[in-house]
Structure 1
Amino acid sequence: MNDKKCFWNPSVKTCVDLACANIEVSNLYNTHAKCFAVDSNLGCTIRALNKVAAPGCMARGPCSSYTIKDQCITNASGIDCVWNTNSSLPEPACQDKSCTTAPQLSTLTHNDCFKYYNTPIQMLMVDNQFQEDVNKLLAVQLKLQVLSIARINAAGDPCGWNGKECNDKSCSTAPATSEFDDDAKCKAYLNNKCTVSSDGQGCIDIPEICELMNQKQCYYNSTGQPCYWTGTLLYYQDL
């Protein structure tokens, strides 16, 4: 009479108000998948007693309220849960998915971590010496001294490793080595914004005017105007 959904319990043959707790307690509903399939909007999960799966369904709650792996799928808001078996815990537990719930044995690189948890706050690969203080690492990630995490910051902007430290990626973060010893390599480093430095290794911002460039830099100024090398001086090329 309130225009709410009803549910037919197939074994006991009763019609009940559609609610997780009203679904019949039988082996027809003894897994998360079976309980969830009753109604995707309702999204029930399997019951558990004394950390063992039990027939029947229950409403989803916080990840921390789940005591068995089969329940540990999503919380009441539909956000992912993770069954955390890392050795740092006294026993396996269901937790909200986060960077620190990544399995320690299979997330060994930045790319492993990025694939595990690709959100606006990206997962960082953490060196062993830092694992006890992950939250602090996230706050100071631009200064981390670990090459394997020099990829992106928390805002999703690229980082650059200059051989000693990680900073926001810029022309100056390109290492002063033969890896960046000409204009083309420096342009490829950061979206055509850089040219090779005056000493021939590393990159700098492209100068505003051609007259400030040497022969190895003499292609375009920072506004995109072509430059021309005269042999001694640099001028704007006539178009």
Structure 2
Amino acid sequence: MWDIECEKALFNIRTNLEEVDKAPVITETTVTTQSVKLPKNKFDFSHRLPDGWKSTLEVNDIQWIAQSVFAGKGVLVSELKMWWYPPQLPGPDIKTAPVVDSYFHRRIFLWMPRKMWAFDFKCPNPICRNQSSLTSKGLYNRVRSVIDIKDRYYLAAEYLECRTCNKTFISYDSRLIDQLPENLRTRFPIVLTWKFACDQSVVCLMRSRTLGNSPTAVCNDIHELQTEEWMRKSLRTSVTVNVNNKVWSG
């Protein structure tokens, strides 16, 4: 059962991982500007993103999400899907200088049932009595960070409005999700509270509330798993940068 202890555990997980889930800073002791010049993006795609997305996405994820998910300013690509993954990491090609941020990208989950499946949502406002259909009002102006077992990802949604009562709703509103048939409803993998969001895999770890398996213990386990994942990414980054440092320095 979801209770205040689970809510506190989510808060602790997010707080403890604020400093963990960041790309490391490569200092001059590791690589110098004379030996390796990190390539810059030839094109800037950030103008395609809604302003609210820019302020809620991590800086290193702005370019790849803007290029992959958006065809133009505020316009999504025609072939939409729920899960979007960052570009694949480069292979062991020592001729190419690495971009450190590429090792620390997050994936993004798009939840847009009306746009993707043309589902006819009814307004949950009691005034409308579930008779008025909701219409699209574009993208929700921010993305949410979702805690997973080994990392975090983004949740993006669409905005819907009722032209009868003028109320607006986010597509992950529980009153809307409950209207979906089970085969679509089960595709939403996230448990939401007012402030936090976590993947259902995290909730599964909280089910067995036996002695020694408290929300605090779950928090510690996830913190350890995410720290290990971050360290693996940091190790791959350091090795790649050091190899390039030797090659480029001659």
Please give the range of the TM-score, normalised by the shorter of the 2 chains: under 0.3
TM-score (ref. length: structure 1): 0.21
If each structure's helix is expressed as a fraction of its own residues, which one has the higher value? 2
Specify the structure having the higher radius of gyration (Cα): 1
Larger RCO: Structure 1 or Structure 2 (Cα < 8 Å, ≥ 6 residues apart)? 2
TM-score, normalised relative to structure 2: 0.21
